[in-house]
């Protein structure tokens, strides 16, 4: 079972993007993120467009934790292994665990 702790435990170090556990994350992703929702919609805006994260309201106050979560999130968006549907769902799930609210989209 994937928890919020293991959601960000993947290694984002690959040159080609992705996480070593991305398939496990896709399998464990809650159904609510596979349906239309604001988190996944925002995640795909980040995938297709540049965005400023200055208005993000993080759950964690720890800068290192936020950096790790953001690195995992970016690595997931860069994967070629997952389908766009899986990528959108897992990325939305990640954002919901990283942030306290869905941010307003602000182009980067």
Q: What pLDDT, on a 0 to 100 scale, did the predictor assign at position 107?
A: 73
Backbone angles phi, psi at 51, to 5 degrees: -145, 150
Q: Give a yes or no: residue 29 inside a domain.
A: yes
Q: Give a yes or no: residue 64 inside a domain.
A: yes
Greatest distance between any 2 Cα atoms in the chain: 35
Asked if residue 49 has pLDDT above 90, the reply is: no
Q: Is the dihedral of CA 72, 73, 77, 82 positive or negative?
A: positive
**Is there a contact between 86 and 44 (Cβ–Cβ < 8 Å)?**
no
**Is there a contact between 26 and 82 (Cβ–Cβ < 8 Å)?**
yes
Q: Give a yes or no: residue 73 inside a domain.
A: yes
Other residues' Cβ atoms within 10 Å of the Cβ of residue 35:
9
Q: Give a yes or no: residue 103 inside a domain.
A: no
Q: Give a yes or no: residue 5 inside a domain.
A: no
- What is the span of the domain harbouring residue 58? 18-98
**Range name among 4-8, 34-38, 78-82, 92-96 with the lowest pLDDT average:** 4-8
Q: What pLDDT, on a 0 to 100 scale, did the predictor assign at position 4?
A: 67
Q: Give a yes or no: residue 105 inside a domain.
A: no
Q: What pLDDT, on a 0 to 100 scale, did the predictor assign at position 16?
A: 67
Q: Give a yes or no: residue 86 inside a domain.
A: yes
Domains contained in the chain, number: 1
């Amino acid at each position: 079972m994937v928890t919020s702790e293991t959601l960000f435990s993947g290694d984002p170090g690959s040159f080609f993007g992705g996480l070593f556990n991305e398939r496990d994350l896709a399998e464990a992703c809650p159904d609510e993120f596979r349906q239309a929702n604001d988190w996944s919609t925002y995640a795909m805006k980040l995938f297709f467009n540049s965005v400023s994260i200055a208005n993000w309201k993080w759950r964690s106050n720890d800068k290192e934790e936020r950096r790790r979560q953001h690195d995992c999130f970016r690595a997931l968006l860069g994967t070629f292994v997952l389908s766009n549907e899986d990528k959108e769902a897992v990325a939305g799930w990640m954002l919901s665990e990283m942030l306290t609210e869905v941010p307003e989209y602000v182009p980067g």
